[in-house]
Amino acid sequence: MHSHVPPSRDLVDNAPLLDALGVRWILAMESESPPANAREVVQWPVEGMENIVVYENEDAWSPAWFAVPEVSAGPLPSVAGCGHDRLLCADASGLPAIKTGDTRADFAAGGMDVRFAPASEPRLLVVTQMYRPGWRAEGLREGGERVLLTTSETLGTLTAVEIPAGVFAVSLRYLPVTPRLLTRVSWGMLGLFSLVAASCLALGRTRPKNDFTSRS
């Protein structure tokens, strides 16, 4: 969403990772071999070139899922022989063992909205978006109470959100530090200019007028 890394064939053939990242739709050229564990949905004819094929990965997880609290913050091991050294070559075969639940996640402007059944104990939500300090999360409890939530990096790249007991929905938005700082500075300068203008206006009203009346 807020980061883009060109995929390689290693990722397309890494079915466990595609599932864990919530990759449901895959586009490929007709001459390319089909992705692992995906079914062909439709072919789009393109004038002057080969068809584009759309595949569906029916085993894709939700883009946000619950994991055991002790999940490692460090990166997953890499698949042997893969040409990338980060997430796109991660060996995700062990992730089903740490997954504890699913959610309903919908992408929204600037982030994601996630809903799930509330629990009586804290949980850890893994969001399949690259972690950045600019992620801000707000939880909703029954009765309408809103609470700010803590975000952190997990599995070496992804975003984790700490979910307190009783929370049933999360609004996750990416708000980079620089734009937020510039916004605050802009509002601060606007307030300062308004104060200066008001002060000048007040001084103009209270300043005594010069007496030019001639004395005889």
HEC string of 89-155 equals: HECCCCHHHCEEEECEEEEECCEEEEECCCCCCCEEEEEEEECCCCEEEEEEECCCCEEEECEEEEC
Query: 13: how many CB neighbours lie within 10 A of its CB?
Result: 15
- Is there a domain that residue 194 lies in? yes
pLDDT of the residue at 208: 56
- Is there a domain that residue 146 lies in? yes
SS3 174: strand
Rounded to the nearest angstrom, the gap between the alpha carbon of residue 164 and the centroid of all alpha carbons in its chain is 19
pTM of the model: 0.77
pLDDT of the residue at 180: 46
The domain tally of the chain equals: 1
- Is there a domain that residue 167 lies in? yes
Q: Report whether 14 contacts 141 (CB < 8 A).
A: no
- Is there a domain that residue 176 lies in? yes
pLDDT of the residue at 216: 46
Q: How far is residue 52's CA from residue 64's CA, in Å, rounded to a whole number?
A: 29
pLDDT of the residue at 72: 82
Q: 3-state DSSP: the chain helix, strand, coil percent, rounded to 5?
A: 20, 35, 45
Rounded to the nearest angstrom, the gap between the alpha carbon of residue 56 and the centroid of all alpha carbons in its chain is 23
pLDDT digits (tens, 9 = 90+) for 8-54: 788 888 999 999 999 999 999 999 998 888 999 999 999 999 999 99
pLDDT of the residue at 181: 47
How sure is the predictor about 202, in pLDDT bands with cuts at 50, 70 and 90? low
pLDDT for residue 149 is more than 80: yes
- Is there a domain that residue 203 lies in? no
Q: How far is residue 125's CA from residue 113's CA, in Å, rounded to a whole number?
A: 12
- Is there a domain that residue 175 lies in? yes
Biggest alpha carbon distance in the chain? Answer: 108
Q: Which two tokens stand for residue 55?
A: 């595949």
Report the chain's mean pLDDT, rounded to a whole number. Answer: 84
- Is there a domain that residue 30 lies in? no
Range of the domain at 87: 62-198
pLDDT of the residue at 99: 95
pLDDT for residue 206 is more than 60: no
pLDDT digits (tens, 9 = 90+) for 83-134: 776 788 899 999 999 999 999 999 998 899 999 999 999 999 999 999 999 9
- Is there a domain that residue 96 lies in? yes
